[in-house]
Homo-oligomer: A and B are copies of this chain.
Amino acid sequence: MPFPSRFKHCPHCGAAVDYRVPPDDNRERAVCTACDSIHYQNPLNVVGTLPVWEADGRVLLCRRAIEPRLGLWTLPAGFMELGETTAEGALRETHEEAGAQIELLGLYSLLNVVKVGQVHFFYRARLLSPRFEPGPESLEAQLFAEHEIPWDEIAFQTTRETLTRYFDDRRHGRAFALFSADLH
């Protein structure tokens, strides 16, 4: 998943764009050669959860039914949409990908993934039921104890970092303080 592809045409009028530095700016932008409008491309937010079934401490992972990383395991997460908060997006993605009923706890990890222009947010969550209904983007949704986590089949580094930190915090009886990291 590289940076979003560069604009070739103006989304307002359809004419070709040119890449140049607009007045009072300091980086190249897509500037329309016909209507002069300027089009910015910026990082995207990915929002998700780390859902835990508290009766036995197992965590929920989903196996991806879509590219990229089809067949690998991930925490439920996806792109934040207009009209929702980061927490609402995390809840929505957990419903869509796992069909899981959860209660959100605090924001737990905030991970910059610079090379793909993304910021990932994971909230801790309490599962209200151990029954799931995987959506079209998931092959299956399953609970894993720490020793069962398929570490060799994890789809994304942000899932790996969040799970690793979580089990470490839990093992040491630490509070689940916000964990920030930059993945270059």
CB <8 Å contact, A45 and B119: yes
Oligomer copy total: 2
Classify the secondary structure of A's interface with B: loop
Task: State in angstroms the CA–CA spacing of A63 and B89 once bound together.
Answer: 34
Task: State in angstroms the CA–CA spacing of A119 and B8 once bound together.
Answer: 27
Task: State in angstroms the CA–CA spacing of A163 and B74 once bound together.
Answer: 37
A89 nearest in chain B by CB position: B43
Asked whether A81 is an interface residue with its Cβ less than 8 Å from the other chain, the reply is yes
Asked whether A85 is an interface residue with its Cβ less than 8 Å from the other chain, the reply is yes
A11-B3 contact in complex given A44-B42, A84-B114, C-beta closer than 8 Å: no
A82-B8 contact in complex given A14-B15, A16-B14, A24-B136, C-beta closer than 8 Å: no
Binding site for B on A (CB under 8 A): 3-5, 7-17, 24, 26-27, 30, 39-45, 79-87, 96, 107, 110, 112, 114, 117, 119, 136-137, 178, 180, 182
The 6 closest A-B pairs by CB, nearest first: A9-B14, A85-B112, A7-B11, A14-B14, A82-B117, A85-B182
